[in-house]
């Protein structure tokens, strides 16, 4: 195949970001006349293969190996590097998940082939796809130019492709194997766990007032709490507010926090790092207040205000009482 999509297992199902990567592979495949294969591996490889076989791709590869039953960067890095070497696709696609961040740079180093991470879009140059990535706090975009000579590893940012556009169909099945030396696995993992869940489930909130770095200091948090209260909204935040200890982690929206899609997302002093955006871009209405007119979150806003949140919040609270 020309494009190999590496699936990620989410409790026996194909990870949402892997589905987006499959969608991207199908689109790019049909546009540039490239065939698509899918790799399912790990303890749930059979279940994932079965799901992947319902998509319109050339073939689905199933890889089972005792050293892949639990995720380790050691094992997954070695396995994917071997599969890529054996299959020699032009492109290897991944969703940009936490797991992909963890082991794909190892694959890149083993193969000495580039890893273009976090691609958001592609364009055409000389009959080939060219992939772009956001840089500098998502304020600018750059195209990445890989060196010649072999497979290119690419991971896609959330929502680079919409999995609603995934094409159903059929696929050939093939079982493959890799040779992993037990001595390669130098990591022992324990079972995943959730820290004590606290507070509300933001994912069901209709109105969210969300604060970022622009709130300035811990003493200003009550201003936002008061605004949320008069609006009947839930209070949420971006990561820096939680990192600073001003709000507890269950308030956090984004890739390491909750994903929300309220009727109104009022973002106060949030610049819009991509890790935050992935958690809130499905909101029906986005209103952004930020003193930086170049804050990337304005790109997603239905309504925008360039201004000081500390001046606006108290007056808005008063006006809504």
Which residues, 170 to 229, sit near another protein by CB under 8 A?
186-195, 197, 207, 213
Minimum gap (Å) between residue 67 Cβ and another protein: 15
Structure tokens at 121: 């879009």
Q: Which residue of 12, 128, 141, 172 would you call a contact of another protein, by CB under 8 A?
A: 141
320 binds another protein (CB under 8 A): yes
Number of residues that bind another protein (CB under 8 A): 89
Contacting range for another protein; rule: CB under 8 A; set: 50-58, 85-93, 167-175, 311-319: 311-319
Among 50, 74, 87, 226, binds another protein (CB under 8 A): 74
Q: Is 162 in the site for another protein (CB under 8 A)?
A: no
CB nearer another protein, residue 59 or residue 234 = 234
CB atoms within 10 A of CB 209: 27
Contact in structure between 167 and 26 (CB atoms under 8 Å) = yes
Contact (CB, 8 A) for 228 and 209: yes
Range 22-51, binding another protein (CB under 8 A): none
Residue 284 Cα distances to 238, 262, 291, angstroms = 18, 6, 23
Q: Cα–chain-centroid distance for residue 224? A: 28
CB of 301 to another protein, least distance (A): 5
- Cβ proximity of 49 and 59 under 8 Å: no
Q: Residue 104: name the closest of 35, 187, 1, 6 by CA.
A: 6
Q: Which of residues 246-285 bind another protein (CB under 8 A)?
A: 249-250, 255-259, 263-264, 271, 274, 284-285
Between CA 240 and CA 74 the distance in angstroms is 31
* Phi, then psi, of 68 in degrees rounded to 5: -110, 5
Between residues 141 and 172, which has the closer beta carbon with respect to another protein? 141
**Least CB distance from residue 259 to another protein, whole Å?**
8
Q: In whole angstroms, how close is the CB of 188 to another protein at the nearest point?
A: 5
Enumerate residues 6+ apart whose C-beta is below 8 A from 182.
Answer: 67
Using CB under 8 A, which residues numbered 227 to 246 contact another protein? 231-232, 239, 242-243, 245
Tell which positions 101-140 bind another protein, by CB under 8 A: 101-103, 105-106, 108-110, 112-118, 130, 133-140
Cβ proximity to another protein, 182 vs 188, nearer residue: 188
Calculate the dihedral angle through the C-alpha atoms of 203, 206, 207, 210, rounding to the nearest 10 degrees: 10
């Amino acid at each position: 195949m020309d494009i190999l999509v590496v699936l990620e297992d989410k409790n026996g199902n194909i990870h949402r970001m892997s589905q987006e990567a499959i969608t991207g592979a199908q689109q790019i495949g049909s546009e540039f006349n490239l065939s698509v294969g899918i790799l399912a591996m790990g303890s749930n490889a059979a279940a994932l293969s079965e799901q992947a076989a319902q998509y319109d791709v050339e073939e689905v590869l199933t890889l089972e190996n005792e050293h892949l039953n639990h995720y380790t960067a050691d094992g997954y890095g070695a396995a994917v590097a071997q599969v890529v070497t054996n299959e020699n696709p032009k492109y290897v696609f991944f969703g940009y998940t936490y797991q992909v961040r963890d082991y794909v740079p190892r694959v890149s180093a083993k193969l000495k082939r580039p890893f273009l991470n976090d691609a958001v879009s592609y364009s055409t140059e000389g009959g080939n796809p060219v992939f772009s990535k956001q840089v500098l706090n998502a304020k600018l975009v750059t195209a990445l130019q890989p060196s010649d000579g072999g497979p290119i590893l690419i991971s896609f940012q959330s929502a680079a492709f919409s999995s609603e556009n995934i094409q159903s169909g059929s696929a050939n099945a093939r079982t493959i194997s890799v040779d992993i030396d037990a001595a390669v696995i130098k990591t022992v993992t324990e079972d995943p766990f959730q820290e004590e869940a606290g507070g509300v489930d933001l994912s069901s909130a209709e109105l969210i007032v969300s604060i970022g770095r622009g709130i300035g200091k811990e003493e200003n948090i009550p201003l936002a709490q008061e605004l949320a209260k008069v609006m009947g909204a839930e209070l949420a935040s971006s990561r820096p507010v939680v990192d600073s200890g001003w709000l507890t982690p269950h308030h956090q929206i984004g890739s390491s926090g909750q994903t929300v899609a309220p009727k109104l997302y009022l973002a106060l002093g949030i610049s819009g790092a991509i890790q935050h955006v992935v958690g809130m871009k499905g909101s029906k209405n986005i209103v952004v207040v930020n003193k930086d007119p170049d804050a990337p979150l304005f790109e997603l806003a239905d309504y925008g205000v360039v201004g000081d949140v500390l001046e606006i919040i108290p007056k808005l609270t008063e006006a809504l009482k």
